[in-house]
Amino acid sequence: MRQLFNAIIFTLAGALILAGCYKDKGNYAYHAINDAYAATIADTFRITRLDTLKIEPKVVAPDTSRLRYEWRVYPVADPAQPLGIGKIVVLSTQHTFNEQITLRAGANYYSLDLVMIDTITGVSYFKHLLLQVTTAFQTGWMLLENDGGYTDISFITPDSKLYHGVYSVSNPNTPLPSSARELISSNTGSLLGTLNMVYFDGDGYTMDNTSLQVIGKYSGLFFSPPAVVQPHNMYKPSPFSYGPFTFNNGKIYGLNGTFASTLFGTAFTQPDALGYTAAPFVAGGLSYGAIFFDQANYRFMYDGGGASTTLKLWPANNTMAFDLNNVHKKMLTMKAGLGASFWPNNWYAVFKNEGDDSCFLYTINGNGDLAATPVAQAKQAILNSPNVQKSPDYLFSSTVKQMYYAADNNLYVYDMAANQSRVVYTFPPGENVTALAWQDVTINTITVATYSSSGEGIVYDLPISPTGDITGNAYTRKSGGFKKIVSLVFKVG
């Protein structure tokens, strides 16, 4: 039996050997190996976001006409999978890479692969590169352009490089509403860090500090979004109060963010049965914490400092320069005056009569009291100051008692002691001022935006001399080609 079994095994083995030796007569196509290699001027590239990167690889292969190309970058954050490792994105299918880089900037490197795909064999050959995307938007001027038909944000770097329409490039699927009206860039001194925002009717967007990509909504900064969202301002006036403070639909919200929170709570509690509608400005100091103005009832209010969210009123007092509980005028602004920006000696508030164009300057001492050093420090009618009520904003010196304002195509300085204004710079006819701001009050340069009759927005840097005039009566920088600029703010990353 065993001999029969062995015979069967040997027979099968022989059959297999014969089958293996049988000549394969199949119809196969053979192709020559087309190994491809690429060389570039570097293996690591660094590019400023929104600049154009050009890489011209030298590709070597027996037959380069058989190759197609893909430039793949990874990992790219995928909004659909925020906890994922990122996705691969094809940036170009051309031999030469020549693309504007819109990837998010950061300290880490992206992998950038040139993939050479043989269209005959399907075999892929790789050239591995590294790409770091930096940003020009850490520091510089953000400009909100809105002429009624065009709404965007542009940017000017400290070395005068212009980036037009950076918001729309960074956010192609999130256009700015036509009601966009205010830019904010605030180092909040809290767990929120630096906030960059653009406000519009009904809400606002928060933007990434390096790319200006939208990362959230203003309404998302609250534990529970207000029933009506109508944002204004974001400011921390004093190291002796929490904050920052924001104003929404006439109500005040504060952030206990120094130690605890990154979200705003409920609106501040009204001081009495009259309620309040706050003007969107805040002063501050050691004595009373944050100081506000109730526009509905024409009175100042304060929170007392610390984590308080209950508004308070001053006791009746007729010995100070003005009655804190009775300022029957419209507040146009309230900003820091003389002294260090983080602890000014006083604050200036500009008011306007509701029935005419008369304006008034009120001085508030946030570190004062109700007696020897009054919190209601001074007031005066602003005289000999043409069209002061028309200014888009008001800027105060931190070293001398002067205020800058603009009307039509003139920039004025108001001398508080002399109680009169003079023109310090005149722009060309038909070129009217639409916005003005300090980069930093200590730098003594005012940045002014104008809009010409031809439809061009222009930005000027005007250096301030010790006398308050424009040094040499000349600008140090002029940047044009914008639409109408309605808001500008200096951003520090």
pLDDT band at 95 (very low <50, low <70, confident <90, very high): very high
**Both tokens assigned to 351:** 């008011």
Tell whether the model's pLDDT for residue 57 goes beyond 60. yes
Q: Is the peptide bond before 57 cis (omega within 30 degrees of 0)?
A: no
Instruction: Calculate mean pLDDT across residues 188-192.
Output: 69
**Upper half-sphere CA count for residue 294 (Cβ side, 13 Å):** 23
Which tens digit of pLDDT belongs to each residue from 307-316? 789 999 999 9
pLDDT at 237: 87
Cβ burial, residue 373 (10 Å; 0-12/13-18/19+): exposed
Instruction: Calculate mean pLDDT across residues 273-291.
Output: 94
**Both tokens assigned to 215:** 């990362």
Question: Any idea which residue has 């009169």 for tokens?
Answer: 420
Closest CA to 351 of 391, 389, 322: 389
Q: What share of the chain in percent tops pLDDT 90? A: 72
How is 189-221 classified by DSSP, letter by letter?
Answer: SSTT-EEEEEEETTEEEEE-TTT--EEEEGGGG
Among 12-16, 257-261, 289-293, where is mean pLDDT lowest? Answer: 12-16
Q: Distance between CA 41 and CA 217 in Å, rounded?
A: 43
Q: Which residues contact 393 (CB under 8 A, 6 or more apart)?
A: 333, 405, 406, 435, 436, 437
Tell whether the model's pLDDT for residue 239 goes beyond 50. yes
pLDDT band at 345 (very low <50, low <70, confident <90, very high): confident
Residue 488 pairs in a beta bridge with 143
| Strand order across the 124-134 sheet | 44-48, 124-134, 110-118, 67-76, 87-92
Q: Distance between CA 55 and CA 99 in Å, rounded?
A: 9
Instruction: Calculate mean pLDDT across residues 61-79.
Output: 94
Q: Distance between CA 370 and CA 314 in Å, rounded?
A: 9
Q: Which residues contact 30 (CB under 8 A, 6 or more apart)?
A: none
The single-letter DSSP state of residue 470 is B
Q: Distance between CA 438 and CA 141 in Å, rounded?
A: 11
Q: From residue 104, how far is each of 210, 399, 437 by CA, in Å?
A: 8, 41, 29
More confident residue, 39 or 30: 39
pLDDT at 211: 84
Q: Distance between CA 485 and CA 151 in Å, rounded?
A: 10
**Both tokens assigned to 214:** 């939208």
pLDDT at 464: 95
How is 3-38 classified by DSSP, letter by letter?
Answer: HHHHHHHHHHHHHHHHHHHSPP------------EE
pLDDT at 190: 67
Instruction: Calculate mean pLDDT across residues 134-156.
Output: 92
Q: Which residues contact 11 (CB under 8 A, 6 or more apart)?
A: none
Instruction: Calculate mean pLDDT across residues 319-334.
Output: 97
Residue 374 pairs in a beta bridge with 369
Q: Is the peptide bond before 244 cis (omega within 30 degrees of 0)?
A: yes
Tell whether the model's pLDDT for residue 481 goes beyond 90. yes
Domains along the sequence of the chain with CATH: 37-134 (2.60.40.10)
pLDDT at 242: 73
Instruction: Calculate mean pLDDT across residues 313-323.
Output: 93
Q: Distance between CA 27 and CA 339 in Å, rounded?
A: 91
Query: Model pTM?
Result: 0.80
Cβ count near 326 (within 10 Å): 11
Which tens digit of pLDDT belongs to each residue from 196-206? 999 999 999 99
More confident residue, 64 or 239: 64
pLDDT band at 262 (very low <50, low <70, confident <90, very high): confident
pLDDT band at 156 (very low <50, low <70, confident <90, very high): very high
pLDDT band at 4 (very low <50, low <70, confident <90, very high): very low
Which tens digit of pLDDT belongs to each residue from 8-36? 444 544 544 444 444 545 555 666 789 99
Compute the mean pLDDT over every residue in the chain, rounded to the nearest whole number: 90
